[in-house]
Structure 1
Amino acid sequence: MARKKTESNGGPSGQEWLATYSDTVTLLLTFFILLYSFSTVDAQKLKNLSAAMQTVLSGQGGTSILEYNINTGNAPLVGEDMNTDAAQNVGQATDMYSTVKEFIEKNNMQSSVQIKEDERGVIIQLRDNILFESGKADLKDNSKSILDKINSLISTFPNNIIVEGHTDNLPINTFKFESNWELSTARAVNVVRYFVEQRGHNPVRFSAAGYGEFKPVAPNDTADNKAMNRRVNILIVATEKEKKK
């Protein structure tokens, strides 16, 4: 506690407030340094804190430490950054997956499709024999009912759609398909054409890719595993804000 200075005659000097002021500034400085020690330090934060403290200590007009963050929207100086966008993004991506899952279950499509989630978005996976005859790329007539259900689902999303064709490692060499590249690509293209030409979707949203046998989900060592690798993926592409961090 500051002691009052007195004149030689025992009266007050008139400068007593300086001791109280200096004590207060010291306490404030210690307080803010302590709080900042708990924060995530980066160069921008250090610069902001330094400028704010200089303003306070010099007695100049300006923005205080707390006002700086409120007015500019920068991350708080105290504590771990709260990335609200990231929190919302995770929620949005989860919502999209939940919507697809609920739709599949409601329409009893579990035996026909699988749903997966990866860093690109939500994948609706179909075995090739649901859509195509062996070694062919023309859509089977009875496959269009399931594509129509998927169409009603993707119509509820504004996201881009990528259709990916995959095969097993059995080679193919026909007049129409010289390799599994051509077969997988043709299958993906025909699914895209169905959505665009038959169901009226904007073609800008859609793209097709064929990967042949080069992105298997299982070793090509049994008939069951090969059947798993022969598939068509309909990927609902997550936006940057929907992607998990």
Structure 2
Amino acid sequence: MAAKTQPIIVIRKKSGHGGHHGGAWKVAYADFVTAMMSLFIVLWLMNSSEKVKKAVAGYFNDPRGTGTMMGTTLTGTGETVAIASSDNMQKLKQKLEEEIRAKKDLEKLSKQIEITITPEGLRIELLEDKNGTFYQSGSARLSDSGQELLELLGGELKTLPNALLIEGHTDAAQYSDDTNYSNWELSADRANSARRLLQQHGVRGNQVTQVRGYADQLLRVKTNPYDPSNRRISILVKNQDGTPAKLKGATEVTAALQTAEKSAPKK
């Protein structure tokens, strides 16, 4: 019998393409794209206005509480909220101090004019001395220096959208034996005389939201209730949104970085 022909077996080896068609590179690419997106967000925030930064940071901190805050002055679907930042208050403080120094009559009184930035806003205080500086002694009538200073302040404050609060204070010395007119009435009358002069020089009627007379209840020098500087008028330029201002820093950028980090895929 003839020998049977052996079948020929051909073994084909498939070349590997797993590295090209696998999914490992996609994870690395996704990480790269996420990192680039985070970088662009941070660069955009660093070059955006304070209003945009405030709106973005507020949304990340509390999405529901700041849902109506807009990063623009244009009317949109939500309520427009303008923010007076601590930077703006600092600029206003510097401008007022420069204008006071520029006036010779007021420059000599610079130690009796205190301008400070507080969490509530910019506080401007007119401090009396033992002879009376801004008001005639025992009266709500403004002196020449008081009128000049309030005219200057009125010209600047009228340009602001911020609300104003005016306070009157006295020292602990009893005004008189007349029970019908005391330090309470005097402090309130002095605050109102300041309000009237400010409004005569441009401050809007609805810009002054409160006028208060505290008598001697909020002493500036508690260790000496009779110190002349306890007699003072205080004008508060309130933060426009009514909330305490944040100190200048990287809060907004930090919020963006934290959000980007949370959104990045886990390896």
- Alignment counterpart, residue 204 of structure 1, candidates 187, 203, 206: 206
Name 1:228's counterpart in structure 2.
229
Distance change in 2, residues 1:137/1:20 (3 Å): same
Name 1:162's counterpart in structure 2.
165
Give 1:30 shift: 6.4
- Alignment counterpart, residue 181 of structure 2, candidates 177, 184, 191: 177
Distance change in 2, residues 1:144/1:11 (3 Å): closer
8 Å CA contact retained: 2:135, 2:142: yes
The residue type equivalent to 2:215 in the other structure is: G
- TM-score after normalising by structure 1: 0.62
8 Å CA contact retained: 2:154, 2:202: no
Find the aligned partners of 1:125 and 1:215 in 2 and give their Cα distance: 13
* Greater CA drift, 123-132 or 235-244: 235-244
Distance change in 2, residues 1:184/1:24 (3 Å): same
* Greater CA drift, 130-139 or 187-196: 130-139
The residue type equivalent to 2:116 in the other structure is: K
User: What pairs up with 1:38-57 in 2 under 5 angstroms?
Assistant: none
8 Å CA contact retained: 2:168, 2:191: yes
Deviation per CA, 1:162-193: give whole Å up to 9, x if none.
22111112234524424x33321121012112
The residue type equivalent to 1:122 in the other structure is: L
The residue type equivalent to 2:120 in the other structure is: R
1:107 to 2:103 alignment: yes
Find the aligned partners of 1:205 and 1:98 in 2 and give their Cα distance: 22
8 Å CA contact retained: 1:90, 1:242: no
Name 2:141's counterpart in structure 1.
138
- TM-score after normalising by structure 2: 0.58
Structure 2: runs of 5+ lacking an equivalent: 1-9, 55-83, 248-267
Q: What is the DSSP-based 3-state SS (H/G/I as helix, E as strand, rest coil) of the residue aligned with 2:22?
A: helix
Q: What is the DSSP-based 3-state SS (H/G/I as helix, E as strand, rest coil) of the residue aligned with 1:98?
A: helix
RMSD over aligned CA atoms reads 3.8
User: What pairs up with 1:32-111 in 2 under 5 angstroms?
Assistant: 66=37, 76=41, 85=50, 89-108=85-104, 109-111=106-108
Deviation per CA, 1:73-100: give whole Å up to 9, x if none.
xxx5x89x86863589343222122211
Q: What is the DSSP-based 3-state SS (H/G/I as helix, E as strand, rest coil) of the residue aligned with 2:219?
A: coil
Q: Percent identity?
A: 21
Q: What is the DSSP-based 3-state SS (H/G/I as helix, E as strand, rest coil) of the residue aligned with 1:131?
A: coil
The residue type equivalent to 1:23 in the other structure is: A
Find the aligned partners of 1:98 and 1:32 in 2 and give their Cα distance: 44
Name 1:213's counterpart in structure 2.
216
Give 1:23 shift: 2.0
Higher relative contact order (CA 8 A, sep 6+): 2
Give 1:26 shift: 4.0
Give 1:8 shift: 5.2
Find the aligned partners of 2:107 and 2:37 in 1 and give their Cα distance: 53
Q: What is the DSSP-based 3-state SS (H/G/I as helix, E as strand, rest coil) of the residue aligned with 1:117?
A: strand
Distance change in 2, residues 1:140/1:101 (3 Å): closer
Q: What is the DSSP-based 3-state SS (H/G/I as helix, E as strand, rest coil) of the residue aligned with 1:153?
A: helix
8 Å CA contact retained: 2:185, 2:213: yes
Give 1:140 shift: 3.8
Distance change in 2, residues 1:220/1:30 (3 Å): closer
Q: What is the DSSP-based 3-state SS (H/G/I as helix, E as strand, rest coil) of the residue aligned with 1:204?
A: coil
